Amino acid sequence: MNLHEYQGKEILNSFGVNIQRGIVATTPDEAVEAAKKLTEETGTGWHVIKAQVHAGGRGKGGGVKLAKNLKEVKEIAVEIIGMNLVTPQTSKEGKKVHQVLVAEDVYYPGDSEPEEYYMSVLLDRAQGKNMIMYSPEGGMDIETVAENTPDKIFTEVVDPATGLLPFQARKVAFNLGLSGKAFKEMTKFVSALYKAYTESDSSLFEINPVLKTSDDNILAVDSKVTLDDSALFRHKDYQVLRDVREEDPAEVEAKEAGLSYVNLDGNVGCMVNGAGLAMATMDLIKQAGGEPANFLDVGGTADAKRVEEAFRLILKDEKVEAILINIFGGIVRCDRVAEGVVEAYKNLGDQIKVPIIVRLQGTNADLAKEIIDNSGLNVESAVLFQEAADKVQEVLS
């Protein structure tokens, strides 16, 4: 689950990471109130107004702007709230902005050279360990840094069994070229950031930029946080941070129905049980000259209700020209699934305008084929993988 910048910063702050402070607002008037409150609390005269959407590169798309007085706060908030923000990380249509973070300006006017760094903590799956990735070249795309000056990117592998050791935090500060107070502040920053990452069960904490102010404080100016969905049950207080407006509506619906669904660009919808078989089915579709329209794992209990829900999801996708159902009946019996398919088909009948190919293999597969073949519906059954592929090819051509 991805978080908004302001939510990530709140978590960081709760673990003692210094942040650029801010207050979230959903209307221009609220933005003005937020700015007034921040001035009282921090003494800041200038504010940055930052669009809160799940996408990076907001600065480039005009979603981060500096306001030098309350009038400008209001003007900028009017402009940003409700806009469709297009950034290098969004689609062409962009993302609608529902709220802004009104933050204190931390790039003080007298500060001739604020230093910006990049820092992230993430899971290194290859090593089965955590990794801190950091660079003195912050504030810009880390991908660009990686491409042009890969030697400017450092990594520190952290064994989850020992946690971040003090010498490692010092190494990070050293490699960023810091000394004196800034060095100390950076070691505290890294340690607190690592703690936030592990204790929140996250798979990513990315701070770009990390700012060193002229008075040698270290601040998180931005945050990109991905919480591990599988660990969310341990964090009731984080569950409410989910903003479904930022997610693909079909994927949200699927999650609610207990289906694993990922929307893709192709023309063949697929309904499969088991993630491995789902991947193999996608390969099969490609081999047959199609492109998978989705990844859909209906799970171990492919009963009529789930099959119908899965149908509904696939049919919402206008790109779909054919549907391939590929179920292996191990725990589930194929005849139950076949009945489910027929029942769902009857319930959705007039909505289904594309050919359907069903391959049911495993327990009671013969019975299942009989049910499909005798249903009188526009459903073709296949027994072998190759047969299914051939039929997909046939209906697409």
- Give the residues lining the site for ligand GDP (CB under 6 A): 20, 48, 50, 56-59, 64, 66, 103, 105-107, 139, 208-209, 221-222
118 is catalytic: yes
Question: Pairing mode, if any, of strands 224-227 and 154-158?
Answer: unpaired
Residue 362: name its binding partner from Mn ion, ligand GDP, none (Cβ under 5 to 8 Å by kind).
none
Q: Contacts with Mn ion: how many residues (CB under 5 A)? A: 2
Least Å from the CB of residue 20 to Mn ion: 11
Radius of gyration of the chain (CA): 26
Least Å from the CB of residue 389 to ligand GDP: 43
Q: Tell me whether residue 206 or residue 335 sits nearer to Mn ion (CB atom).
A: 206
Residue 321: name its binding partner from ligand GDP, Mn ion, none (Cβ under 5 to 8 Å by kind).
none
Residue 368: name its binding partner from ligand GDP, Mn ion, none (Cβ under 5 to 8 Å by kind).
none
> Which residues, 6 or more positions from 159, have their beta carbon under 8 angstroms from its beta carbon?
129, 130
Catalytic position from the list 115, 206, 246, 309:
206
Q: Tell me whether residue 121 or residue 382 sits nearer to ligand GDP (CB atom).
A: 121
Q: Tell me whether residue 18 or residue 208 sits nearer to Mn ion (CB atom).
A: 208
20 binds Mn ion (CB under 5 A): no
Burial class (CB in 10 A: 0-12, 13-18, 19+), 154: middle
Q: Tell me whether residue 222 or residue 339 sits nearer to ligand GDP (CB atom).
A: 222
Q: Tell me whether residue 146 or residue 396 sits nearer to ligand GDP (CB atom).
A: 146
Least Å from the CB of residue 37 to ligand GDP: 16
> Which residues, 6 or more positions from 366, have their beta carbon under 8 angstroms from its beta carbon?
none
Question: How many helices (H) and strands (E) are present in the chain, helices listed first?
Answer: 13, 18
By CB under 5 A, the residues from 195 to 234 that bind Mn ion are: 208, 222
> Which residues, 6 or more positions from 354, have their beta carbon under 8 angstroms from its beta carbon?
269, 320, 321, 322, 323
Least Å from the CB of residue 191 to ligand GDP: 22
CA gap 321, 269 in Å, rounded: 8
The residue number whose beta carbon is nearest to Mn ion equals 222
C-beta neighbour count of 152 within 10 angstroms: 15
CA gap 252, 271 in Å, rounded: 17
* Integer angstrom CA distances of residue 289 from 282, 284, 356, 357, 384: 11, 9, 16, 15, 18
Q: Which of 384, 264, 255, 392 is nearest to 328 (CA)?
A: 384
Q: Where are the beta strands (DSSP E) in 218-329?
A: 218-220, 224-227, 260-263, 268-272, 294-297, 322-329
Catalytic position from the list 6, 117, 118, 197:
118
Question: What string marks each residue from 236 to 275 as x (binds Mn ion by CB under 5 A) or -?
Answer: ----------------------------------------
Active site residues: 118, 206
What residues make contact with Mn ion under the rule CB under 5 A? 208, 222
